[in-house]
Structure 1
Amino acid sequence: MNIIILDDYQDAVRKLDCARLLEPFNAKVFTNTVKGVGQLSVRLRDADIIVLTRERTQISRQLLEKLPRLKLIAQTGKAGAHIDVQACTDQGVAIAEGVGSPIAPAELTWSLIMAATRRLPQYIANLKHGAWQQSGFKAASMPANFGLGSVLHGRTLGIWGYGRIGRLVAHYGHAFGMQVLVWGSESSRQKAQADGFAAAESREAFFTESDVLSMHLRLHEATRGIVTAQDLARMKPTALFVNTSRAELVEADALLGALNRGRPGLAAVDVFESEPILQGHALLRLENCICTPHIGYVEQDSYELYFRAAFDNVVNFVAGQPSNILNPEVFSGPARAG
Structure 2
Amino acid sequence: MKLRCAVLDDYQDVALSLADWSALAKDIEVRSLQSHFTTEEEVAEAVGDCEILVVMRERTPFPESMFARLPRLRLLITSGMRNASIDLEAAARHGVTVCGTASSSEPPAELTWALILGLARGVVQEASSLRAGGPWQSTIGADLHGRRLALLGLGKIGAKVARVGQAFGMEVMAWSRNLTDERAAEHGVVRAHSLEELLEAGDFVSVHLQLGDRTRGLIGTSELKRMRRTAYLVNTSRAAIVDQAALVRALHDGWIAGAGSDVFEHEPLPADDPLRTAPHFLGLPHLGYVTRRNYEGYFQQAVEDIAAYLEGSPLRTLSARPAPPPR
Task: Tell me the TM-score normalised to structure 2 length.
Answer: 0.94
Conserved 8 A contact 1:158-1:180: yes
**Cα displacement (A) at 1:207:** 0.5
- Of residues 247, 259, 275, the one that matches 2:251 is 259
Q: Does 1:212 align with 2:204?
A: yes
Alignment partner, residue 143 of structure 1 = none
Q: 1:291 and 1:189, CA in 2 relative to 1: closer, same or farther beyond 3 A?
A: farther
Greater shift, 303-312 or 47-56, is seen at: 303-312
**Cα displacement (A) at 1:251:** 2.1
Greater shift, 56-65 or 315-324, is seen at: 315-324
Alignment partners' CA distance in 2, 1:60 and 1:88: 8
Q: 1:336 and 1:306, CA in 2 relative to 1: closer, same or farther beyond 3 A?
A: closer
Alignment partner, residue 118 of structure 2 = 115
- Of residues 4, 7, 11, the one that matches 1:5 is 7
Question: Secondary structure of 1:51's partner?
Answer: strand
Alignment partners' CA distance in 1, 2:129 and 2:272: 21
- Of residues 271, 274, 279, the one that matches 1:282 is 274
**Cα displacement (A) at 1:79:** 2.8
Q: Does 1:124 align with 2:127?
A: yes
Alignment partner, residue 250 of structure 1 = 242
Give the AA of the match of 2:4. Answer: N
Q: Does 1:71 align with 2:74?
A: yes
Give the AA of the match of 1:60. Answer: P
**Cα displacement (A) at 1:22:** 4.3
Alignment partners' CA distance in 1, 2:243 and 2:68: 32
Listed one character per residue, the Cα deviations across residues 294-315 of structure 1 (whole Å, up to 9, x for unaligned) are 0001110110112222221111
Alignment partner, residue 199 of structure 1 = 191
RMSD of aligned residue pairs (Cα, Å): 1.7
**Cα displacement (A) at 1:287:** 3.1
**Cα displacement (A) at 1:293:** 0.5
- 5+ residue gaps, structure 1, are 136-146
Q: Which runs of structure 2 are paired with 1:81-230 in the superposition (5 Å)? A: 81-135=84-138, 147-187=139-179, 190-230=182-222
- Of residues 274, 284, 292, the one that matches 1:300 is 292
Conserved 8 A contact 2:210-2:238: yes
**Cα displacement (A) at 1:151:** 2.0
**Cα displacement (A) at 1:320:** 1.9
Q: Does 1:291 align with 2:283?
A: yes
Alignment partners' CA distance in 1, 2:150 and 2:172: 6
Question: Secondary structure of 1:186's partner?
Answer: coil
Alignment partners' CA distance in 2, 1:127 and 1:189: 47
